[in-house]
Amino acid sequence: MARSGAGSGSGPGPGWLLPPSLLLWCCLTPVFCIPRPGRDPEFSLPPKPCQAPEQWEGRAVVYDHNTGRNSRVLITYDGQNQRVRVLEEKKGHIPCKKFYEYIYLFKNPVVFKIEQVTKQCSKLPLIQPWDPYDIPDNSTYEDQYYIGGPGDQIEVQEWSDRKPARKFETWVGVYTVKDCYPVQETYTKSYNVTTSTRFFDLQLGISDPSVFTPPSTCQVASPEEMRDDC
């Protein structure tokens, strides 16, 4: 953001309000008289990652860049207990498409994959480590900007795991400035984007904690992955 200063060309600058004697003194010692309406960037403290809420629910669109598919899901997020429930949304009829519910219990660690119609259940080991929806303390600040147009804007900050002169980013997260809600997260691997997730309709808290309890069919869950085709 450019700082305001004296006018250019033949137009009047700030000095036109000063008497001649004081104007002459200002010309000799300009550092004391040039208006400085804002704080110098070099003296500003660098932004710090905000604290994201630990429990929320909402919706998201996950785009898999490897398959080219979008998945619309409902998410219930419990960072305190390291568990996430993901419910695929049904948007029209897609031949041979099955819709699933996923219950990730990272402390166990196990994931239940449940077919929404038959309630057939698979119980699978959860290999990936817990990765909360937040901004790690060692993140690199990238940018701050507004999403939307005049009168309908949300201020966000963009962070990444990039380390200057050492590594490129493999994660980029966009979070709201006001309440630190996730807006978008992008992951890359070997310089290729793998997944992009957009979050919306978020609400603070968990309205129904029972969504983390697997249905009774999971008591005899199969240890094998279910097939997604017909």
pLDDT in 10s for each residue of the chain, 230 residues: 332 333 334 333 333 333 444 333 334 444 443 444 444 545 578 899 999 999 999 999 999 999 998 999 999 999 999 999 999 998 877 777 899 999 999 999 999 999 999 999 999 999 999 999 999 999 999 999 999 999 999 999 999 999 988 889 999 999 999 999 999 999 998 878 899 999 999 999 999 999 999 999 999 989 888 877 66
The partner residues of 75 in beta bridges, in order of sequence, read 58, 86
Looking at residue 36, its pLDDT comes to 44
Residue 126: DSSP 8-state:
-
Looking at residue 230, its pLDDT comes to 60
Which DSSP string corresponds to 151-213?
Answer: TEEEEEEEEE--BTTTB--SEEEEEETTT--EEEEEEEETTEEEEEEEEEEEEES-S-GGGGS
Looking at residue 25, its pLDDT comes to 37
Looking at residue 181, its pLDDT comes to 98
Looking at residue 224, its pLDDT comes to 87
Phi-psi region of 201 (alpha: psi -120 to 50; beta: other; left: phi over 0): left
Tokens of 58: 């909402």
Looking at residue 129, its pLDDT comes to 94
Looking at residue 215, its pLDDT comes to 96
Looking at residue 192, its pLDDT comes to 85
Instruction: Using DSSP, state whether 20 is helix, strand or coil.
Output: helix
Contact 94, 86 (CB under 8 A): no
Looking at residue 45, its pLDDT comes to 81
Looking at residue 166, its pLDDT comes to 81
Looking at residue 8, its pLDDT comes to 38
